[in-house]
Amino acid sequence: MTTKVYTGASMSLDGYISGPDETGFDKLFTWYGNGDVTVGTTHPELTFRLTGVSAAHWHRTVRETGALVVGRKLFDLTGGWGGDHPMGVPVVVVTHSVPDGWPREGAPFHFVTEGVEKAVALARELAGAQGRHVVVNAGTIARQCLEAGLVDEVGIDLVPVLLGGGTPFFPDLTGAPYELEGPVSVAEGKNVTHLRYRVRYARDV
């Protein structure tokens, strides 16, 4: 099995993964709570209520994900997820400097200060050892990975809202246009369409 690199996020119809000043999450994440299938995470207090379609999508994502690559901003914002990411997988944090008190015994967080390529390489090892794939966080990290030719598939949970501004899925993207193939899968949830696309880099043509 070749370990692949995926990125995915809930995105508004106008292309934003968060609205102006970090708003809009109530709209973007409606689908995590609008169904009747209860889905647990490694955090006892964090459960979702998904439709059957969205639950299948979620389970597939969890099953495939062997390691995450995230930026320092998200790590700080979530307080390092209290030392344990809800997906229960190793997390590689791209950062300029290792935060105080980290790494910690037993907490599967890794810190890479040499950029996204090194971070993805480490995440590939961690995920590959489990026969799974790497998921990189949408936003700056996904953009850097896309520009570096590292992203194999893009998952978009397309939400019917217009946010009018905020953070794009691939902010400040250079080297465009990037062509994708697909969608290679489409699943219609409630207030969300789960779409997956394959990235086609010039080298593939």
Q: Do 29 and 49 contact (CB within 8 A), yes or no?
A: no
84 φ/ψ angles, rounded to the nearest 5 degrees = -155, 110
Q: Is residue 163 a contact residue for a copy of itself (CB under 8 A)? A: yes
- What's the Cα-to-Cα distance from 69 to each of 11, 95, 151, 179, 187, rounded to whole Å? 19, 11, 12, 23, 25
- Per-residue x/- mask for a copy of itself, residues 186 to 205, rule CB under 8 A? x-x----x-x-x--------
Q: Is residue 22 a contact residue for a copy of itself (CB under 8 A)? A: no
Q: For residue 198, give the 3-state DSSP assignment.
A: strand
| Contacting residue, 123, 156, 167, 194, with a copy of itself by CB under 8 A | 156
| Contacting residue, 15, 86, 108, 149, with a copy of itself by CB under 8 A | 15
Part of the chain binding a copy of itself (CB under 8 A), chosen from 9-17, 78-86, 111-119, 124-132 = 9-17
DSSP secondary-structure letter at 54? H
Select 102 or 197, whichever has its Cβ closest to a copy of itself.
197
**Residue linked to tokens 């990290």:** 141
- Pair of tokens at residue 186: 């489409």
Q: Is residue 29 a contact residue for a copy of itself (CB under 8 A)? A: no
Q: Is residue 176 a contact residue for a copy of itself (CB under 8 A)? A: yes
How many residues are given for the chain? 205
| Contacting residue, 27, 49, 60, 73, with a copy of itself by CB under 8 A | 27
